[in-house]
Amino acid sequence: MPQELEGLKGLGPKTERAKTEDRLSRNPAKSVGRHMQSLYSNDVRFRLPFDAAGTLLTTRGGASKTLGRVMQEAPMYYDPVLSIGRTMTPDVDPQTRTNVFGSNMTLVAGNAIKDALMTLALKKLANKSLIGQVASEKFEGVANAITDPFLASGVNKLNEYMLEPDAQGKTRFDKIPYLTEILNSAAKSRIGDSYLFKDGLKSLGDPSETGDYYLGDDEVLFQLMKLADPKNVPPTKIDNSGKLRIDRSKPMTPLQKRNAGKMETADVNKQKFLDVLRTPQARTTIEILNDLQNLDKAVPKWAAKINKPSPSAGKPYTGPNKPPLLGFAAPSPTTIRNVQ
């Protein structure tokens, strides 16, 4: 290879085989953990059961309700705190830091205020009766799940207003007294340069941060085997398409053969699952699940479909079961005599 091209070696786009090799070369525990986070961040089908479980737990009492509320609220605070923490370094432009802090704190503060007002409103509706209080406590988590999408939409509109620059390029966040100075002082700690914020934590709301960590079913099993029983991991190879295959040309122990069978079964099940997802029913279900993440946008769309007039509205019925015309039959002579 010419010397001038030596420095460019490895800088081109990775092949599918290289991408798979990179995923499987990572620490097994971290790899599986990142995979789970990738599913949560990128796949609404995987995230919905967690959201539903959190809402269900809030309808119970004691520790279950506390756990449910944590499951509901943690995502609302996790990403804003992560975004703010990453700006806490002198390397970040002060205006960028101020705007990131302001827009994320708007979401945090808005969520806290919304939760407080929601709880107060439910208590008022309970009207101090024991039954009403119990019902309001059980409904609190459900109300939170319903109102969160509307809160996010409202906060986004508020942030658009606050981030509008003036003639000098300053936003309304920049004009908050002493905010930029306080944040510049905090940034001297260089918390944003720590491993925790640089790479340890990944955003739940930004799929681009975790999309590369997604593993196939066979890759998940392979990493779990490396973690739980590294001595009995079956020999594998990676084909040009990046697919992990069992290398049957190499000798295997009985335990390795058993684990190899599990990996191949996982691959077959994955293909069956993908076939199901291609059906019209599955596509409709996925569309509904995606709509549920944006209720403020989905409700008007659903309403338009529901309120759409039927093509036959206002037209006379002409089907095979058309009812006879209404009329009055002449009374019989017996009926006339009885009346007289």
Return d(Cα 43, Cα 289) in angstroms, integer. Answer: 10
Which residues form the domain of 287? 216-304
Contact assessment for residue 171 and residue 165, using Cβ atoms and an 8 Å cutoff: yes
Residue 230: the pLDDT is 83
Count of domains for the chain: 2
User: CB neighbours of 172 closer than 8 A, spacing ≥ 6?
Assistant: 161, 162, 163, 164
pTM of the shown model: 0.63
Of 180, 212, 244, the one marking the end of a domain is 212
Asked whether residue 60 is assigned to any structural domain, the reply reads yes
Query: In which residue are the tokens 């990131």 written?
Result: 100
Do 78 and 220 belong together in one domain? no
* Same-domain status, 150 and 254: no
- Whether 200 and 27 have beta carbons less than 8 Å apart is answered as no
Average pLDDT, consecutive stretches of 10 residues, N- to C-terminus, the chain (340 residues)? 45 71 84 84 75 80 79 84 92 91 91 84 71 68 80 86 88 91 92 87 79 78 84 84 82 85 73 70 70 63 61 57 55 64
The pLDDT value given to residue 131: 60
Q: Following DSSP, what letter does each residue of 258-307 receive, concatenated? A: HHHHHHHHHHHHHHHHHHHHTSHHHHHHHHHHHHHTTHHHHHHHHHHHHH
| Whether 152 and 241 share a structural domain | no
Structure tokens belonging to residue 110 = 């808005």
Residue 175 belongs to some domain of the structure = yes
Q: Are residues 181 and 115 in the same domain?
A: yes
pLDDT of residue 216: 76
Instruction: Give me the residue label for tokens 């009926």.
Output: 335
119: which 2 tokens?
């709880």
Domain annotation covers residue 97: yes
Q: Tell me the two tokens of residue 26.
A: 């990572």
